[in-house]
Structure 1
Amino acid sequence: MTLKPPSWKRHIAFNAYLVALLGCALFTRVTAQYRFDHWTADNGLPQNSVRDIVQTRDGYLWLATFDGLVRFDGVRFTVFNKSNSPGIVTNRFTQLYEDAQGDLWACTEGGEVTRRHAGRFTSYTKENGVPAHPPVYSGGDGRGNLLLGSAGHLWRWADGQFQPADDYRLPAGGGAEVARNSAEPLLFWSDGIRAMGFLGGQPFGWNIRDIQAELGRPLLDRQGQTWLSTRQGVYQFADGRLMPSGIPAEQLAGRPSILVGGRPTVQALTAGADGSLWLTELDTRQSRLIAPRLPEMTDVTGNQVGGVFVAYGDREGNLWLGSLRDGLYRARPQSLTTFAKPQGLSFTEAYPLLEDKDGALWIGAQSVFRLQGGVFTRYDGRGSFGTYITTLHQDRAGQLWVNGRWRREQGRFVHGLSENFDWLGLREIWTMCEDRAGALWLGAIGGVLRVQNGVMTRFTTKDGLAGDDTKVIIDDGTDGLWLGSYGGLTHYRNGQFQRWTEKDGLPGATVRSLYRDRDGALWIGTYDSGLGRFKDGKFTRYTTRDGLLDSGV
């Protein structure tokens, strides 16, 4: 997610087992795989009650809790409260809203309103025009302007203060013509008897006994449609009145529902009779299973849906769920398709993978497979590359190499390199790279082999390598190479090797993957020591404490 993560989190691409390539067709109701992350007061939250969620335009995720405002960058939580943040007068926050100018507004349980502008907090009370009778509710007008509601009346922010706005109206169109990247939460207020929202560009009130609104504010989607969740189902506002959306209750997979904010189209989160959580696309009426039950959920009672009090979808497709007693959940969709024997494979483990210039995927296992157009083709290695595939490479001419020595020509594999070499001494070949001069470099257990103009030269630690067992070789972006081995990191340029080991600050000696990002930083994946970043001569190490799922990268 673009939650303003550190730059390392934006550039990492993890090498994983092959389990997915193609998406599945959706039906009216489908199941989907989600991976859940769960945070409580034990691992980062100030307390376990999450009242509202919003992702601001700078990528951060903000939470409203009863122990301060919380900002999440994808790795760490930062808490802003009255003890550490000037301008905050109470810790008990209830609602969040980001206006069109990028200011974050937060309502409190006591009726105060806090604004974050240019990184600074300012709190407003009745002396600044804030309604004097809490609770105070916040929301938008459909054009990104903040409105407040209290005791059946409206206030708007203008000229540096809040002003009464019962007569506030938008020009014709009601904001539907305004381009928006995500559904806007509109103002909604209720005292349990009457309800009021800013719908269709003007205040609109109704008796709560006729239409009993549920949790959350109305949402204005990208097409200008306004949605509201009620006890009677999901309603829409059109032609100056609230009316049922026409979505049958059975298609919502459970009632009541919570509307999911943050996305261009509106979704509804519902809980089935068995406690299962479902997500429904309101425009297409497609539902998918999120989970039979949220993991570690203890509170499924009260004014919640399956234990969820607020739901929010970020710009990266994650679903965030806030509860009143069980903290924060993140549901990450796993758009994976598994390929196994029924799809034409005859193995359970795949290591080297290569996408060629034509878009076909080559897979190394006990043999070589090509996946193209959804069809697997198997290539028998008997008499050539054998039954143990360690490396796949496509050179600039478009020719495929297997295990460093075998080249594909006219649909068959032939010797690509001279047999007049001590291949047994080199042993298994793990990686292959072509440098800018056209030389082929092979990394193997017994060192590195360079093949240039038919001349083979072998390099080992005696020549300056950090380790003989070389797992990865990549271009350095100029005219050199980076080499990773079980021993350390090596750079080659102009006939000279320079090496780094753990003694020089390298995060780990077992280097097995390398990646050079657009900023020129080198990312170093290790077998068991986490992730390293090398920039301007300095190493930085990241581990599971910094957000990695595992120490092996």
Structure 2
Amino acid sequence: MVAGGWAGTFRSIVANPEWRRCLGALLLFVLAGPALGLDPDRLTSQYVHDHYGRDEGLPPGAVWTALQSRDGYLWLGTQNGLVRFDGIDAKVFTTADTPGLANHDVRSLIEADNGDLWIGTYGGGAARYRDGSFEPFGTEQGLAHPIVYDIHQDDEGAVWFGTAGGVTRLGPDGDVSTLTSADGLAHERVFEVYQDSSGAMWFASLVAGVTRMRDGRMTTFGKATGMVSDQVHAVYEDSAGTIWIGTYEGGFYRMEASGPVRYPLPEGVAGNGIQSILEDSDGNLWLGTYNNGLIRIHDGEVAHFGSGALAEAFVFDMTEDREGSLWVASREGLHRLGNGKFLTFGEPEGLADATFVVAADPSDGSVWAGTEGAGLFRLQGREVERFGVDDGLASNNISALAPDGSGGVWVGSFGGGLNHLSDEGIRTWTREDGLPSNHIFALLLEDDGALWVAADGGISRLADGRFRTWTREDGLPDALVRQMHMDDGGRLWLGTNGGGLSRFDGQRFENFAGQAGVPGNIIYAFHEDAEGSLWIGSRDSGLSLHRDGRFHHFSVADGLPQASVYGIAGDEQGYLWLSGGGGLARVARDDLLAIADGEDIELDARLFNESDGLRNGQFAGGFQPPVATGLSGHIWFPGLAGLVRVAPERLGINRIEPPVTLESVSVDGRSLPAGDPVRLPPGSDNLEVHYTALSLVAPRQVRFRYRLEGYDQRWQDVGGRRTAYYTRLPPGEYRFEVRASNNDGIWSERTAGLTVVQEPFAWQTTWFRVLAIFAFGLLAVLVYRLSVRQFRVREQRLSGLVRERTEQLEQALEAVERSSRIDGLTGVANRGYFEERLAREWAIARREHEPLGLILADLDHFKLLNDSRGHQVGDDCLRGVAEALMAVVHRPGDLVARYGGEEFVVLLPRTDIESLRVLAERMRLGVEALGLPHPEGGINGRVTISVGAAAVIPDGQVEPRVLVERADRALYTAKDAGRNRVSVDAGS
């Protein structure tokens, strides 16, 4: 078949709505893989919601539009510039620094089929971004009007521009034509241009309805055809082929053969008008409104964001990225909505935020939650029922739960005693009924119906309506009992608040406090798995295993993500879930057993926190039960932001590999021209390669590895750092490569890279060395012959001359060696000498078993200073900061070095963590006291630094890079907390 035939067939397929939808679905699958849209089964409050504004580098003002280009960047059209965003850094293009961009009020964006980015502005026409440069397309090129509201590319590759003066069409061959009211448009102020699957073009006007152009015929819909408004802002076709129309007055319409039919929305939901419409890959239809936020429609159910930042937002545009996140452009900035890995039920869902305990009812699958001050809640599906003192509970501070298996529940309170809630009502027991105290910490129900109660003062067993109590006088540890567990052998395990672990066999108490393998004295959790192994968690001393009569202890040194273990549960996938003070950890159970058996393996463990969808990373502990597993296998944890539900089989692993891209290369503070290879001038000191990875779900969890082949012996793990530093590369050719992993540890198979060529000085070339050797040999021969001829008369003089030359040579060699260790700009040590000293001091510290400290300091907003004031001011600033750091260290073994760019490193042997903290703070204050002006940032317009510090006592299992990584992690913590501060990684 000839090419024209293929093209005709393709056009006929594209014109068919069913084929068009199939092709779209196939393309989405190929590009997005397993990514899904937002889960429609969640309440709108249960999506992860991130907001981005000026603090994240976006310019002030509204965000009008957003799209993700095929390379992975998020592009934003804002009131004050075009923005390219990777989730961390925002590159802003304005008229001040972007030739070809006539106005930086950007209202519309599209990426054409050939990869060109088209930009429409309010008053400056349009522009095309291609290969790093902008090309204007304005009235001089045939555009109808410089105000561009919308841009759209049709099936034939033509680009349409909706303007304030009509619709301009730029054909694939470059021909330009314009439609106006004379051609049948309802009005020339065209706010949106859209092509549906039938090939019809839609032109939404701001004052006269929407015009459909089909087969050359113009048909207008508006008030005259029954719509409430002629101001149409949105036209959209969903995957089922339905055309939707949104108007400014809030009317939402579905196009049918008879014309637009109004879709019923709940009263007040549509607000002041519908600005944008989008269907995501999970079938949700999203409506962006003026002043009434976001609306979701799924299977006829309408949901509105009734609270939070999106409740009354002005939403202008929406786009879905390939990882399934929904990005919302609004007057209030940029928003991201995602599913997150967990489901939270808190105050927005009708529960309470401060939850103490959780229990699953085995009779019907409902979940009970005890709260601090808000009473008792029962959750079944989405339905929430509350019980409090007004309903007969003794207290609203619920501290213990035990479902009775018949739909009722035993409830322990803090100060109100014991309750039993059932269909017959609520009954209460207090001290007057035989309890040792009205402060209840734990409840445990035996199979025979007997109830164990741990209260302030002892433990009691309620059977046949009577309490029997054991206290310290009976051998109970002298501490509060906060956890109880009955093992398969009928023995009662007790976890105390300060008295450690105890076991009761019905006759006597056996206390294990201080024994090897047992965690600390504050026990918060028990979990017995299917094989009979007992797992024990402590407040701040890690996890222990009791198996075959012996204990084994696990700590952060074994790979646990955190030292606190408040609750423990197992899943069907072989993992233990551990709640704690810093998040929710998932640990491979078999790995823990292997470590307990003496195997040397790396523990499969991960800590989840707010970036994974938790509203708050702090969980509750100290009351029972701290975790519950429901009939469906879901695991529930109480936390400070409500109940957290874990669905281990549907954790939502992000399997999209993050594409990696190189953004810029600089040497000695000067940007180098883009290209491959990059050639460095002779004598270059500092090479910086800036890179990024385009994963937008949790960009701060993206991790990088890079290497410079020919220089690095192995890949360098650098965490979240997005710049590679190299100092004084020897002459030669190298290959730089970088790869990245997303928030779930999925590494990119493809790397980004470039060739780096360090040009030599003439005296460093091979031919120069050969010539020098030849000249030296020739000179040696001449000297030898002359010395033989005049040996007797000049022996003494010649000997003195040789000594003099030897001394000069030694001095020259010493000067060369000294200069090779010094950073030429700042006068402190360079990175190469630092790494040499780090290896030496590490070996000494390991041999002497002494702490080795490290401080990383980074100038805040240095790039802004450098770009705005010039490199000379930047260089003076770097020299001043180096002097300030040198002024703090005084011991002969301490070393200050320039680590790269605006970063400095201080190596401090025999320095513990507290001394390190003091020195780091002195350095920060010393730089602030310099008073170096910083018109673009800093504190009161002054240059400041962010400081990260760490100290370790090396052992044979840890390499020196771990110290650098911990200090680097602390540095990023200081930056995230607002800069101009010190963060110390205290370790374990």
TM-score scaled by length of structure 1:
0.56
Counterpart residue identity of residue 107, structure 2: T
Separation of aligned partners in 2, 1:197 and 1:458: 73
Partner of 1:453: 548
**What is the CA–CA distance in structure 1 between the aligned matches of 2:220 and 2:63, rounded to whole Å?**
29
Structure 1 position 120 matched with structure 2 position 132: yes
Match of 1:406 in 2: 485
**Counterpart in 2 of 1:423?**
512
Which SS does the other structure have where 1:519 is aligned?
coil
* Structure with higher helix content: 2
Matched residue SS, 1:367: strand
> Which of these residues, 247, 251, 275, is aligned with residue 258 of structure 1?
275
How far, CA to CA, are the matches of 2:218 and 2:278 in structure 1?
21
CA–CA distance in 2 between the matches of 1:248 and 1:113? 36
Contact 1:188/1:196, CA 8 A, preserved across alignment = yes
TM-fit CA distance, 1:322? 1.6
Whole-angstrom distance in 2 between the partners of 1:254 and 1:235: 15
Conserved 8 A contact 2:527-2:534: yes
What does residue 494 of structure 1 align with?
598
Write 1 or 2 for the structure with the bigger share of strand: 1
Tell me if the contact between 1:276 and 1:291 (Cα under 8 Å) persists in the aligned partners.
no
Pairing 1:117-516 to 2, within 5 Å after superposition: 120-126=132-138, 131-140=143-152, 146-150=159-163, 151-159=165-173, 161=174, 163-164=176-177, 175-176=196-197, 188=203, 190=205, 204=218, 206=220, 210=224, 213-214=230-231, 216-230=233-247, 233-239=251-257, 242-245=259-262, 247=264, 250=267, 253-261=270-278, 263=280, 266-270=285-289, 279=295, 281=297, 284=300, 286=302, 288=304, 290-291=306-307, 308=314, 310-312=316-318, 314=320, 320-323=328-331, 327-328=333-334, 337-338=345-346, 349-350=355-356, 366-369=399-402, 377-378=409-410, 380-381=443-444, 386=454, 406-407=485-486, 409=488, 414=492, 422-425=511-514, 426-430=520-524, 442-444=536-538, 449-456=544-551, 471=565, 481=592, 494=598
* Aligned mates of 1:376, 1:111 — CA distance in 2: 69
In the alignment, is the contact (CA less than 8 A) between 1:112 and 1:130 conserved in 2? no
Q: Cα–Cα, structure 1 residues 377 and 112, in superposed 2: closer, same or farther, change >3 Å?
A: same
Distance 1:418 1:235 in 2: 69
Question: 1:100 and 1:292, CA in 2 relative to 1: closer, same or farther beyond 3 A?
Answer: same
Question: What are the superposed Cα offsets for residues 68-101 of structure 1, whole Å, 9 maximum, x if unpaired?
Answer: 1124444554323355567645423121234566
**Relative to 1, partners in 2 of residues 1:134 and 1:330: Cα closer, same or farther, differing over 3 Å?**
same
Q: Give the C-alpha shift of residue 107 in structure 1.
A: 0.8
**1:519 aligned to 2:533?**
no
Return the match for 2:58 from 36, 39, 45. 45
| Structure 2, gaps ≥5 residues long | 1-34, 36-40, 184-194, 371-397, 412-442, 446-450, 457-480, 495-501, 515-519, 567-577, 579-584, 603-616, 620-700, 702-741, 748-947, 951-957, 984-988
Change (3 A) 1:142 1:450: same
Q: CA deviation at 1:114?
A: 3.2
Give the match for residue 645 of structure 2: none
**What 5-or-longer segments of structure 1 have no aligned partner?**
1-9, 11-21, 25-30, 168-173, 179-184, 296-305, 389-401, 483-490, 499-510, 522-529
C-alpha displacement of 1:48: 0.9
Instruction: Kindly provide the CA deviation profile for residues 21-54 of structure 1, in whole angstroms up to 9, marking residues without a partner as x.
Output: x967xxxxxx968997665546633121332233
SS state at 1:366 partner: strand
State whether residues 130 and 162 of structure 1, in contact with CA within 8 Å, keep that contact through their aligned partners in structure 2.
Answer: no
Q: Highest relative contact order (Cα 8 Å, sep 6+), 1 or 2?
A: 1
Moved more, 148-157 or 43-52: 148-157
Query: What is the 5 A alignment of 1:75-114?
Result: 75-83=88-96, 88=101, 90-99=103-112, 104-114=117-127
CA contact (8 A) 1:137 1:189 kept: no
Residue 13 (structure 1) aligns with: none
SS of 2:399 mapped into structure 1: coil
The structure-2 alpha-carbon separation of the partners of 1:189 and 1:294, relative to structure 1 and needing over 3 Å to count, comes to closer
Residues 92 and 431 of structure 1, relative CA distance in 2, 3 Å threshold: same
Q: Which amino acid aligns with 1:386?
A: A
Is the 8 Å Cα contact of residues 229 and 257 (structure 1) preserved in structure 2? yes
**Aligned amino acid, residue 113 of structure 1:** A
Greater shift, 59-68 or 285-294, is seen at: 285-294
Q: 1:186·1:199 contact (CA, 8 Å) conserved in 2? A: yes
How much does 1:281 deviate? 3.2
Report the residue type matching 2:314 in the other structure.
V
The answer to whether the Cα contact below 8 Å between 2:243 and 2:255 also exists between their aligned partners in 1 is yes
1:107–1:202 Cα change, 3 Å: farther
Structure 1 CA distance for aligned equivalents of residues 315 and 133 of structure 2 = 26
Partner of 1:524: none
Rg larger for = 2
CA distance in 2, matches of 1:158, 1:372: 71
Q: Answer yes or no: is the 8 Å Cα contact 1:408–1:414 preserved in 2.
A: yes
Provide the C-alpha distance between the structure 1 equivalents of 2:974 and 2:259, rounded to a whole number of angstroms. Answer: 50
Secondary structure of the 2:314 match is coil
Q: CA deviation at 1:219?
A: 1.5
Determine the structure 2 residue equivalent to 1:300: none
Aligned amino acid, residue 427 of structure 1: N
* Aligned 8 A contact 2:293 2:315 in 1: no
CA distance in 1, matches of 2:118, 2:71: 15
Assess if the C-alpha contact under 8 Å between 2:542 and 2:554 holds in 1. Answer: yes
> Of 66, 71, 91, which aligns to 2:79?
66
CA contact 1:278–1:291 (8 Å) conserved in 2 = no
Structure 1 residue 494: Cα displacement: 3.2
Partners in 1 of 2:563 and 2:132 — Cα distance? 53
Q: CA 1:543–1:455 in structure 2 vs 1: closer, same or farther (change >3 Å)?
A: same
- Pair 437,250 (structure 1): closer, same or farther in 2 beyond 3 Å: closer
Moved more, 259-268 or 218-227: 259-268
What is the CA distance between 1:386 and its match in structure 2?
A: 3.3
Q: Does the 8 A contact of 1:141 with 1:186 survive in 2?
A: no
Contact 1:321 1:330 in 2 (8 A): no
Residues 87 and 430 (structure 1), Cα distance of their counterparts in 2 relative to 1, 3 Å cut: farther
